[in-house]
Structures are given as structure tokens and as C-alpha cells.
Chains A and B, each alone.
Chain A
Amino acid sequence: MTKELENGKINGEEPSTTGTLRVLRPAVDIQELADSYVVRLDIPGAEKESIAAKINESTLTISAKVQERFTQETAAVYNGSLPAEYRREFALADDVETQTVDAAYELGVLKITLKKKQQFLPKEIKIV
């Protein structure tokens, strides 16, 4: 889970250009719990319908389109950041259950819960 794909031209510091879209790699928090991993990505202003979290073999890809910050008539005089698309990929560890992805979007944060496979969960053995 901790290993991240650095392929492609996506770089966290400098958004790259894909066609006319500016692609931004969102900041991420990853926490490991006893039975799952919780991944949180900051994707403020993402259109809810455009958010996609997909697992392909052992790669988790997250992408989302960003709503326009200003109307076209409004000229931007200062741009702190104006991404058009969020995208980030993660290589998943062997213990991640790849059949189900649970994703929730709230307050501009995408929370993804990845369950661990049964055989990797801690087991208690009863002493008889």
C-alpha cells in the first residue's frame, strides 16, 4: 500500500499538462487499521459525478474533474492554483482486497477504505 507509482508525467509539485487539462496530484493521507487501510485525498471542488476510484489488478487509480473556479468573463488576476483534473495512482500491497472499494466524498475530501484480505487479518487462537 505504501508504494506509489511514479510513472507517467504526473508530479506533485508542478502540475503537468495533458492536452488542455492541468492535472494535479492531490495530497494524500494513508492510515493502516487492524483490518483495513484508509486513504484520504484532498480534492476540493471536484465534481461528485466525475470522481472515479478504480482498481486494475494491483493498481488503485483515483481521478476527478474540477469545477471551474470562476466564470469565463471574470479575469483571474491571481492564481494560487487552478487544477482542472485530479489524478493519482497507487500500487497496492498483497494484503489488499481488490474486489471492493468503498469511497465517500465529503467536504472536498475523498475517503477510500480498502479492506485487508481475510488471510492477513490477525487471528486469535483459543487455548483449550
Chain B
Amino acid sequence: MLFRYEPGVFDELFSRTAPVEWAFPELLTRFAIVDRSNDYPSVNIAEDKDGVHVVAELPGIPKEDVKLQLHDGTLTISGERKSPAEAKNSDVLRRENRYGSFSRTIQLPESIDTEKVTAEYVNGVLRIALPKREAAKPKEISIR
């Protein structure tokens, strides 16, 4: 079922900029990026029979400065990228990287077992493994 998006109606009820997806979760594609305020960090998402794999690119950010939160069926990656140490006594000739705080939220499918989520950070890449609940995994039934 599809609803026509009418900004006037929803903006009064929800203060967020993209409220229609919150109000009607069925409108979401399964792994919709909920927070569209920016596209940083870059995120890749894949699914196999065991679960969902989220790979985020966070170069230059120690893992202590990254926060991962599961809440209400969403996964939020947030943190802060600090400017490099010698930035103060030097002339910046070019700056393409962005520094400062960031946040990105991803809608997760219901089949995820939130108790078993693990994450590791190697070489600027954060890998988050979100296994599916046993009941949600495909099962083969033998025919007698």
C-alpha cells in the first residue's frame, strides 16, 4: 500500500524532516537510510542467509571516537573525526576530507537478533555483523 506524500500533513505531526518514513515503516525499503541529512560515512550493506553485514568507511577515526547504537530497529553510527595534530601551525593548501561530528542511521529488518550484533574496526573500515534470529533463518524440511 502506498500513501501519497503530503508534506503539510506530516510536518505538523512530526518535527523531523523526513517524517513519512517514520510514520509508515512499510514505505521503507528494507534497508533504508533513515537519516538523509548527509551521506557520511560511506556505507555498504549486504545480506546473506545468516544475517546482514554493514561496512562503514571511517578513515582517520580511532574506534574510541565511534559510537554504535541499536534503537527501535535502527542502527546508528555516530562519532567525531578530529583534525590532525599539526593543523594549527601550518598552512592548509587543500582540504577535501571533512572533520567534525557525524551520524548515520540505518533501518534494520525485523529478523535481526539485536543481542548478537558484533563490530570490528580495521584500517579505517568498520564492519558490523548483524545475525538473523534462528527463527528467521531459512530452514530445510526433510520429507519422510
A36 nearest CB across to chain B (Å): 9
* Listed stretches A25-33, A53-61, A95-103; interface member: A25-33
Q: How far is the CA of A105 from the CA of B92 in the complex (A)?
A: 21
List which B49-106 residues lie within 8 A (CB) of chain A.
Answer: 53, 55, 57-62, 84, 86-87, 89-97
Q: Are A77's CB and B57's CB within 8 A?
A: no
Q: How far is the CA of A44 from the CA of B62 in the complex (A)?
A: 13
Known: A33-B89, A45-B125. A78 touches B62 (CB 8 A): no
Q: Which of A15-23, A67-75, A120-128 contacts B (4 or more CB under 8 A)?
A: A67-75
Contact A107-B93, Cβ < 8 Å, known A45-B57, A74-B46, A74-B53 = no
Q: Is the CB of A107 within 8 A of B61?
A: yes
Contact B57 A81 (CB under 8 A): yes
Q: Given A29-B95, A74-B48, A81-B44, answer yes or no on A44-B53 (Cβ-Cβ < 8 Å).
A: no
A-B contact pairs, 7 of them (CB 8 A): A29-B84, A29-B94, A29-B96, A69-B44, A74-B53, A76-B44, A80-B43
**How far does the alpha carbon of A37 sit from the alpha carbon of B92 in the complex, in Å?**
10
Question: What's the least CB distance linking A100 to chain B, in Å?
Answer: 19
- B interface residues with partner A (beta carbon < 8 Å): 30-31, 39, 42-48, 53, 55, 57-62, 84, 86-87, 89-97, 123-125
| B-side contacts of A40, CB under 8 Å | 60, 84, 97
- A4's nearest neighbour on chain B, judged by CB, is B94
A55 CB, nearest partner CB in chain B, Å: 18
Q: How far is the CB of A5 from chain B (nearest CB, A)?
A: 14
Does A1 lie within 8 Å of B93, measured CB to CB? yes
Interface presence of A10 (CB below 8 A): no
Given contact pairs A33-B89, A44-B58, A78 touches B96 in the complex (Cβ within 8 A):
no
